[in-house]
Structure 1
């Protein structure tokens, strides 16, 4: 496993706050020196009032790209099902250029197959099955990568692809084929086991999976319970165990832009101690 410097991402849930608060928080996180600012790609809140205030992911990322200068940006994660793959590639390329400010872009193409049924039902997308959505993702990623090379102008860099999910048969195979970053909610023993499976997929497709950056959440978010960071988040000892097994990107989730940033400061201090 290649040794990588520890990086810290912060996910701003685009819910339960006016946009001005989200904008100001993104600027503050950029000034604090977080490595990546994420949002998520849903159409409704995942916790609290499920009909509460919520904003769309991609348009927000374009605005954050313009207002920030340091942090990389992306969705954790984009839902592949909502948009034509060529369109996704073009949007990603555009945000890459917006974020570059005369240099190299800062956009990360975080993507996944989708899971929140309400998004599909209320916006008129076919929900399908877990398997069919993963098949669509496997089909679309080569199209997205091909479109990046066909666009004029092309992206400012090889846009990093982050894939979220832990399915061992399909998801990890897609990760082995396409991902620069793999994100999961694994604990340390699970991560170790799944990295072994990922390596097997890598051998099958001719890829050295040690090239892939390993990303984990440091605040748990069980789907059945919604978004639950804070006291239920990982301890520093757990983070150290994940680090020992190869994780280098750690992401703190904030339930809204009005959340207390004390946890971010704590994780930034831990990150800096690792360097």
Structure 2
């Protein structure tokens, strides 16, 4: 199995009260050569003034599905606790159709307490939030199989997180893409643990794409050697500087990094 190295961009929908700034950034990202354009799923900014301007994830993804032509789109990541899982599956199927089959369904267990408290969700504990994600994943996949019309393709599921016992087990069971957050050597170690979980559920670990944040051009090839084929820099409002995206795209296009042919 081989995979091309891809470059995403997370356009963080914070501190941009004029939505036209975000819409313009999406178009510029697609024109710059991004393979995937992600948002995030929060109700408040994470950086700077936490009461600043912020837009909601999934309504925005519907708009992105209409305005783009080539890039895949999705949330990096969507918090499972914020929406009924059957409804979330239906929302994903709808955006999948609007985009012509370009949605990635990014999911995570959530962590930002202000989101939970302000919108009336139970924050719980890391363990309880992860258990909820584990309960919702089979409901999401089941509902995707029942919807009429069906999704245009098997919507790829991305799971973000690096917990060795529970999160990586869910990745092995349900994910098409694993987004990890570790330094390179730690990423290799956790990828090996993911491989062990894949063995337990009788799944080929090469079926799961490895994804991480953009580490810079000087380190990216080392991550490719560790199995990563999706790198995602990020940019925030109000101006959405895409300099780092262009750096990553140039690295992808000029250095011709090796395609993934195997994992440790």
Partner SS, residue 145 of structure 2: helix
Query: Hey, which bits of structure 1, 4+ residues long, moved more than 6 A?
Result: none
Inter-partner Cα distance in structure 2 for 1:32 and 1:164: 25
What's the offset of the Cα at 1:3? 3.3
Is 1:212 the equivalent of 2:208? yes
1:15 aligns with 2:11: no
Listed as ranges, the gaps of 5+ residues in structure 1 are 219-233
Whether 1:253 and 2:246 are equivalent positions in the alignment is: no
Segments of structure 2 that go 5 or more residues without pairing to the other structure are 258-264
* In 2: Cα distance, 1:159 partner to 1:259 partner: 28
* One of 172, 177, 195 as aligned partner of 1:176: 172
Asked if residue 187 in structure 1 is aligned to residue 180 in structure 2, the reply is no
SS at match of 1:150: coil
Question: Is the CA contact 2:217–2:247 (under 8 Å) kept in the aligned structure 1?
Answer: no
Corresponding residue for residue 223 of structure 1: none
Distance 1:179 1:257, change over 3 A: farther
C-alpha displacement of 1:257:
5.0
Please tell me whether residue 203 in structure 1 is matched to residue 199 in structure 2: yes
- 1:36-75 alignment, distance < 5 Å: 36-75=36-75
TM-score, length of structure 1 as denominator length: 0.91
Per the alignment, in what secondary structure is the counterpart of residue 118 of structure 1?
helix
| CA deviation vs aligned residue, 1:101-130 (integer Å, no higher than 9, x gap) | xxxx10000000000000000000001111
Retained in 2: the 8 A contact 1:12–1:257? no
Rounded to whole Å, the distance in 2 between the matches of 1:266 and 1:200 is 35
Q: CA deviation at 1:185?
A: 1.4
Counterparts of 1:255 and 1:107 in 2: how far apart (Å)?
Answer: 21
Whether 1:76 and 2:76 are equivalent positions in the alignment is yes
Once residues 51 and 44 of structure 1 are traced to their aligned partners in structure 2, the CA distance between those partners, rounded to angstroms, is 6
1:144 corresponding residue in structure 2: 140
- Within a 5 Å distance, the mapping from 1:81-96 to structure 2 comes to 81-96=81-96
Q: Is the 8 A contact 1:13 1:257 kept in 2?
A: no
Give distance in 2, aligned partners of 1:263 and 1:152. Answer: 41
For residues 80 and 55 of structure 1, the distance between their equivalents in structure 2, rounded to whole angstroms, comes to 18
Alignment of 1:88-167 (within 5 A): 88-100=88-100, 105-167=101-163
SS at match of 1:51: coil
